[in-house]
Amino acid sequence: MTLPKTPSFRLDGKRAFVPGGSRGIGLGCAVALAEQGAHVVIAARSKDQVDDAAGAMADAGFSAEGMALDVTDLDAIKALMADGDFDVVCNSAGVARHMHSETVVPEDFDFVVSLNMKAAYFMAVEAARNMAKRGGGSVIQISSQMGHVGGIDRSVYCGTKHAVEGFNKALAIEWGAQSVRFNSICPTFVRTPLTAPTFANPERLAWIMDKIKLPRVGEVEDIMGAVAFLASDASALVTGTSILVDGGWTAG
């Protein structure tokens, strides 16, 4: 009897691009990919932040470099995707302006949509264009549980994340024949410096803990296994779907 063998999670010889990779969830994604052997290019608008993150990863023995980049600059993204020869793109760049729908003005709407939806969409398409020429690849969007449900003071944010879930499915269909895969990871509230004010608000914390079925909030490490899985051959037949790392939030 010949026993089946689990496909490898290793990414040796692969190149990965992680915008938003200088801190928080994005840094966790970058480290997860580097741990599996990928060379990781992290990007953010702040050169100091990407240099610090890439330096810390290099000091830990990983293959990493940083670049200053505004992902809403679509010409820069197109050029980078054409020349970067990335096997994996894990987009962790995103923004939120949480407010009641009654107070949202067009400037707030455009700001969130331009990064969370428009930049994410065109980055994915340009990545696919290059991956298709090279035999395939994996595009991972760091979406949100809010791409599957609604949330207080999050109408625009939820709209952009629902959009990511929708266009991922369409892109998976369009590019499947070229072996380019599109998936998302949808975290619940994860403990990072950016979410610290939310967790410090007793009312918001009570709301979060009531919704999460497991008895804790998310940590950056909770996202890392899903990233390694979706980037690797272990998920070779997985496309057009999402992994909900939400502690059971959306199950209820």
Whether 121 is catalytic: no
Cβ neighbours of 60 (radius 10 Å): 11
Q: Tell me the CA distances in angstroms from 38 to 68, 125, 171, 175, one per residue in order.
A: 20, 22, 24, 23
Please pick, among 157, 167, 229, 249, the residue that the annotation labels catalytic.
Answer: 157
Residue 116 tokens, joined: 């969370």
Question: What is the identity of the amino acid at 157?
Answer: Y
DSSP-derived secondary structure for 9-72: ---TT-EEEEETTTSHHHHHHHHHHHHTT-EEEEEES-HHHHHHHHHHHHHTT--EEEEE--TT
Residues that are catalytic = 157
